[in-house]
Amino acid sequence: MAVKTLTIDGRLVSAMEGQTVLEAAQEAGIHIPTLCHLDGVSDLGACRMCLVELGNSPKLQPACVLKVAEGMEVRTNSDRLRKYRKMIVELLLSERNHVCSVCVSNGHCELQDMAVELGVDHSRFDYIYPVERVDITHQRFGVDHNRCILCGRCVRVCDEVEGAHTWDMAGRGAKSFVITDMNQPWGDSTSCTSCGKCVQACPTGAIFQKGATVGEMQKDRTRLEFIVTAREKKQWIG
């Protein structure tokens, strides 16, 4: 495989052909904010946090799906990008009922971390206050749609790593929501293996382990990485 050299924020970086700009940046220690990206599962380019500027092109590209190319000139942290990222976080915070003070993931939430990182201390936009459901029919886990940012990580991890495809997306637009099986209560799902990968994959407190109270729900991504790496390297075979 050929090696490509590119510039990211003025730094020369080398990457393998086929790698994404996000991977190249991460390897070079350059931080690009992400929300819907999760190591080990496919990328969607949906949250638009990782948008980067390319050379003289006015078009922004998501770093998570953009493949490296020779001589590429990437800027990850311009004023324009920071402004857009901030607005995206503000939009996410106003879209549903994200009340950190009563959230199981308070202090361990990627959305909250992102807001802190980008200096979002309030949203300029109207809070929508939609009426969302909470499904706690599953024996061990629960899903609170108030805190869901529709990143689709649970859908992908369940489909691609666990192979169960219990989760899916229903509805459209702002009325989209994640469902289990054919929009049945999670507890009645016949495909769910109760593996808990969705719990670990969820960036916020939307999918949580029962019994956790405010701030107690810590997600352990290393468990997912462990499974994905073991599968890729065939560590469980022979």
Of 177 and 215, CB closest to other proteins: 177
Helix (H) or strand (E) holding 60: strand 57-62
Strand order in the sheet with 57-62: 11-16, 3-8, 73-75, 51-54, 57-62
Site for other proteins in 102-131 (CB under 8 A): 124-126, 128
Binding other proteins (rule: CB under 8 A), the pick from 176, 183, 193, 222 is 176
| Torsion-angle region of 211 (φ positive above 0: left; ψ -120 to 50: alpha; else: beta) | left
Nearest to 149 by CA among 124, 174, 125: 174
**Min dist. Cβ of residue 209 to other proteins (A):** 26
Which positions from 67 to 106 touch other proteins by CB under 8 A, shown as an x/- string?
-------------x--xx--xx--xx-xx-----------
Q: How far is the CB of 24 from other proteins (least distance, A)?
A: 17
DSSP H helices in 120-213 = 153-156, 197-201
Decide if residue 54 touches other proteins (CB under 8 A).
Answer: no
The tokens 């991977």 sit on which residue? 23
What residue ranges bind other proteins (CB under 8 A)? 44-48, 51, 60-62, 65, 80, 83-84, 87-88, 91-92, 94-95, 124-126, 128, 149-150, 152, 168-169, 171-176
